[in-house]
Amino acid sequence: MNRVGIIGYGISKFGKRTDASMYDLIWEAGSEAIRSSGVDKKDIDYMVVSNMGMWSSEELPAVVAGEVLGIKNAGLHRVEAACASGSSAIASAYDAIRSERSKIAIAVGIEKMNEVESETAIELIGRAGNFLWEYEFFGLTFPGYYALYATAYLNRYSGKEEDLALVSVKNHHYAHLNPIAHFGNEITVEDVMKSRYIASPLKLYDSSPITDGSAAVIMASEDIAKQYTDTPIWIDSIGSNLGTANLSKRNDFVHIEAAREAASKAYRMAKIDAEKPYRFIDGADVHDCFSIAEVLAYEDLGFAERGRGLDMLRNGETYIGGKIPVNVDGGLISKGHPIGATGVAMAVEASKQLLRKAEPGRQIDVKNGRFLTHNVGGTGHYAYVTVYSI
């Protein structure tokens, strides 16, 4: 079988990068990915760029990325799957290589969100979902969508806002060990509880920030990959699924069906027991755009039984040394969530962890040699679950 492997990666510093343009960010991540892979950029024959756009001035970021990186003889397109755009870029490059349309591909994720002021960014991302029936008259925001899940979840399972705060405390802890993270400070439950409401019951510290950043990976077919490295990071499986545009068309607000289905497909392809997936993987990056989203992820991925996600947090089971370490890069909440770059950044993190190159204090124990990423677009509008291995 013609496997597909990651042979190089790069990532920019995440944050409110008033010092760097979209071009600079693409260069930071893309040039590092190419350099670390050892490939000559002339041999890259396929390029895919994930970007949501809207808040940044360049309308065609994919062509910008090609020009910035000096890539000339590659097929090119841009992909959008909202916050899961990055994983869709990985999927697109994977498909191109598996179908033998490409031998060496580059996937670049880029988002420059701070070219507009926060209120406009809130406006633009709030429109992502169903504009006519959920935004035009009701002004739902992105935190608002997830807050609807949080209210329903806490009510159904008798959870407290203090429980959700534990997500942010854990992820800030690991972010402060990750030099590229947006935030570098540790926080307490009290800090989270004292922060202002954004969309009740979610508060500022329950939320991912508005982040600029870029990430890139070089991917190649198995025969080519082995010419460049003895340790490619293989993509074992990609499961993806869609969700309804209207949130109101979902049956309940205590799980994300698209993510559950994506996980089921990914586990089937990778021959992972969906009942106890944590026995087959060493760690995971999950889509914690808001604290509640990480809790839903535990359950949708089968790390916890339904309604028991908060217990994992209360028991510290998702710290390193626990049942399964989750978001030890700081997650979206603290590492930052540059929308189109996030899924590619997760691939970078999977690679670093499996190669045991994570910074001190946040390296997981690699036993099974597998790492999972869970990337949700919008509010369960798109979902990608990807299994990486070494």
Pick the piece of the chain touching another protein (CB under 8 A) from 100-108, 122-130, 216-224, 345-353.
Answer: 122-130
Instruction: Quickly list DSSP for 3-64.
Output: -EEEEEEEEPPPB--TT--HHHHHHHHHHHHHHHHT--GGG--EEEEE---SSSS-S-HHHH
Of 133-152, which residues contact another protein (CB under 8 A)?
133-134, 137-141, 143-144, 147-152
Site string for another protein, 10-49 (x = CB under 8 A): ------x-xx------------------------------
Min separation Cβ 138 and another protein, Å? 5
197 binds another protein (CB under 8 A): yes
Which residue blocks in the chain are alpha helix, DSSP H? 22-37, 61-69, 85-98, 118-126, 142-156, 161-175, 189-194, 222-228, 257-270, 291-300, 309-314, 342-354
185 binds another protein (CB under 8 A): no
Q: Is 201 helix (H, G, I), strand (E, B) or coil?
A: coil
Catalytic, out of 83, 173, 182, 287: 83
Structure tokens at 43: 């041999």
200 binds another protein (CB under 8 A): yes
- Rounded distance, CA 125 to CA 251, Å? 23
Min separation Cβ 152 and another protein, Å? 4
74 binds another protein (CB under 8 A): no
57 binds another protein (CB under 8 A): yes
253 binds another protein (CB under 8 A): yes
End-to-end CA distance of the chain: 16
321 binds another protein (CB under 8 A): no
DSSP code for 196: P
Cβ-Cβ contacts under 8 Å for 333 (sequence gap 6 or more): 167, 168, 171, 172, 205, 206, 207, 208, 288, 289, 290, 291, 294, 327
120 binds another protein (CB under 8 A): yes
Range 139-167 burial, b when 16+ CB lie within 10 A, else e: ebbbbbbbbbbbbebbeebebebebbbbb
Q: Are strands 283-285 and 4-11 parallel, antiparallel or unpaired?
A: unpaired
Residue 337 annotated to the active site: yes
Min separation Cβ 208 and another protein, Å? 13
173 binds another protein (CB under 8 A): no
Min separation Cβ 13 and another protein, Å? 13
Pick the piece of the chain touching another protein (CB under 8 A) from 195-203, 260-268, 278-286, 346-354.
Answer: 195-203
320 binds another protein (CB under 8 A): no
199 binds another protein (CB under 8 A): yes
Min separation Cβ 163 and another protein, Å? 17
Structure tokens at 165: 């705060």
Catalytic, out of 173, 337, 374, 381: 337
333 binds another protein (CB under 8 A): no
Q: Is 126 helix (H, G, I), strand (E, B) or coil?
A: helix
Pick the piece of the chain touching another protein (CB under 8 A) from 62-70, 248-256, 306-314, 361-369.
Answer: 248-256
Binds another protein (CB under 8 A): choice among 60, 246, 356, 365? 246
Would you please indicate which residues are annotated as catalytic (active-site) residues? 83, 337
